[in-house]
Structure 1
Amino acid sequence: MKNATSLTEFYAQIKTDNPHIATDQLGHFNVFEIEKVRKRMADSPEMPYDKRTYFKISLLKGSYKVEYADKTLSISNYGLLFATPKIPYNFNPTSEEQSGFFCVFTYDFLPNENLREKMDALPVFAQGATPVFEIPEEEYNALSLIYKKMKVELDSDYEFRYDLLRNYVLELIHNGQKLMPKHAKVGAMSAGKRITSLFIELLERQFPIDNPQQKLQLRRAEDYADRLAIHSNHLNKTLKEETSFTTKQFINLRIAQEAKTLLMETDWPVATIADCLAFEETSHFSNFFKKQTGESPLKFRSALMI
């Protein structure tokens, strides 16, 4: 299944109209039972995850394989998975039984600005972390109670229910933090195809540019390598071996493609497009575009009007 790029798309994938969107005007939160979601998605067994806009904490029963860049992590019976919007991964069941719970929430749902700023630095969400944990059955049963409480509060009319829900989210995070030193389980190194796939996913996640305020966050090869928690030389070597393109060539080709689209489909000034594509100067963008396409942005755009 294609990964969702928005909350609306996510809810379309799991075939629900989401009665709890826009919680108390402080961000988004929801909680689900995996088995019920799977029944609604009988024709598409993979669990969707919006890797762009929100966090996800999953309590799992069954066998699963989770792939991060050059690592494979596995769950055999019971597990806890923490996912951040900033780090891509592949998540696949390896057994018929798939049950448990998961909750999703946005940065804005967190109780205060200080915590929101620190989220990406927490061990379970930090770059380079391996936040997949095998847990014993008794721990699974204890954590499942938290999710059941979430479901009860989400459906209640208690005035301060969202404060309770935030506390439950923090409780799950703290449980994960306690597991970090002893239960993180790393499997064998993966093939270069996984790194290539996750790099391309991370690159594509930045597009399309939908408005003049949007700006590329990952521009250099080192930015992608850092996000994938591998060395930039390793990333470059892998891409070269798998595709014959270097990291820089990949990035430049995709930026040039987006530049063409923006020149064709918008009336934005060239300077605005340059800024969206993370060029410090319009002249730098013009030189880049001419090198990639053989003509200047203005000439390219004017040719479309003939």
Structure 2
Amino acid sequence: MDKNIPSEAADCNTSDLKLKGFKVYEVGSGVNAVPTYNRRDFYKICINTGRSLIHYANKGIQTEGTIAFFGNPRIPYSWEVISPTYTGYACVFTEDFLKSHERFESLQQSPLFKIGGTPIFQLDEGQKLFMTSIFQRMLAEQDTTYFFKEELMCNYINLLIHEALKMQPTENFFKHKNASSRITSLFLELLERQFPIESPKQPLSLRTAQDYANGLAVHVNHLNRSVKEVTGKSTTTHVSERVISEAKALLIHTDWSIADIGYALGFEYPTYFNNFFKRITGTIPKSLRA
């Protein structure tokens, strides 16, 4: 079985993305490569027809037919094509590009881009035709000199977002049942906002349950009780698991020294990082280096 990966570099030169704020492109099969597991500094919306295996966060999701995918820059993902033919469209855009839009903040909290949300939707023929037509209009407009092009692109992106939101039954939107649920949700959001770590010169600022309690302006005991009640795990366990997840990503996907990685994750000395990593994973950080 052939395994192809639509290469970000091959399908979309994003070098000018930060200048324009968006990029639209067509994708296809035929790129042979080893699967990559990346975090990117932009959001991505795409529709694809074919059979694929999407590695998203800690899950592997196999898809067939036509699907829409909503990529979040805070969550690593890779895309492995396992069918001989593969077609589709994609657009990538920075957070700043849509930030001025009055509805953007609430859309960020939707199941499309929310941590733990639903990033993949199976499309029927009508949905496929509609979303394809939007991408084709975006492609046609991308290189024009129309004065309000950015506003138009923003509207197209929001059309894609709302089309996917309509596929979600209203009850799928998260609703807080009580104060514990609300505090826990705020904690998990604050935890995720600490990542990804972009530079060893900007170390993790929140490391302990007390740090997060301070950030949320609640007593640490209240935070611990709420998180344990709702998730079954302690606040410290959530923080440790997320730090370990980030440590693994940095060990595999960067050339930073182990000491720099440890420092970036809030460990003053490499020995502290090594001991923490081994206690949680049963192995040492060096074992993840090729």
Q: Shorter-chain-normalised TM-score: which range?
A: 0.5 to 0.7
Provide the C-alpha distance between the structure 2 equivalents of 1:101 and 1:248, rounded to a whole number of angstroms. Answer: 32
- Which of 118, 123, 138 is matched with 1:135 structurally? 123
- Which of 26, 31, 36 is matched with 1:33 structurally? 26
Provide the C-alpha distance between the structure 2 equivalents of 1:181 and 1:251, rounded to a whole number of angstroms. Answer: 32
Q: Deviations over 1:51-107 (max 9, x none)?
A: 231111111111223344565544321111111112234432231121010110110
Aligned length: 222
- Which of 87, 97, 109 is matched with 1:109 structurally? 97
Q: Deviations over 1:143-194 (max 9, x none)?
A: 1010011011111111111110000000000011111239x9xxxxxxxxxx
Provide the C-alpha distance between the structure 2 equivalents of 1:248 and 1:114, rounded to a whole number of angstroms. Answer: 31
- The residue number in structure 2 matching 1:209 is 199
Unaligned runs of 5+ in 2: 173-191, 213-226, 276-290
Scaled by the length of structure 1, the TM-score of the pair is 0.57
Provide the C-alpha distance between the structure 2 equivalents of 1:153 and 1:102, rounded to a whole number of angstroms. Answer: 14
Unaligned runs of 5+ in 1: 4-9, 185-201, 237-245, 264-272, 279-284, 295-306
- Which of 78, 81, 102 is matched with 2:69 structurally? 81
2:36 corresponds to 1:43: no
Provide the C-alpha distance between the structure 1 equivalents of 2:137 and 2:150, rounded to a whole number of angstroms. Answer: 12
Q: Is the 8 A contact 2:67 2:122 kept in 1?
A: yes
Cα distance change of structure 1 residues 16 and 79 upon mapping to structure 2, 3 Å threshold: closer
Scaled by the length of structure 2, the TM-score of the pair is 0.59
- The residue number in structure 2 matching 1:260 is 259
Q: Which has the higher contact order (CA 8 A, sep 6+)?
A: 1
Q: Is the 8 A contact 1:66 1:89 kept in 2?
A: yes
- The residue number in structure 2 matching 1:21 is 17
Q: Quote the offset at 1:43 in angstroms.
A: 3.3
1:93-172 equivalences under 5 Å are 93-112=81-100, 114-172=102-160
Percent identity of equivalent pairs: 24
Aligned-partner residue type, residue 26 of structure 2: E
Provide the C-alpha distance between the structure 1 equivalents of 2:67 and 2:82, rounded to a whole number of angstroms. Answer: 13
Cα distance change of structure 1 residues 79 and 248 upon mapping to structure 2, 3 Å threshold: closer
Q: Is the 8 A contact 2:22 2:97 kept in 1?
A: yes
Q: Deviations over 1:217-248 (max 9, x none)?
A: 77469x9xx9xxx8657xx7xxxxxxxxx849
SS at match of 1:110: helix
Provide the C-alpha distance between the structure 2 equivalents of 1:124 and 1:168, rounded to a whole number of angstroms. Answer: 16
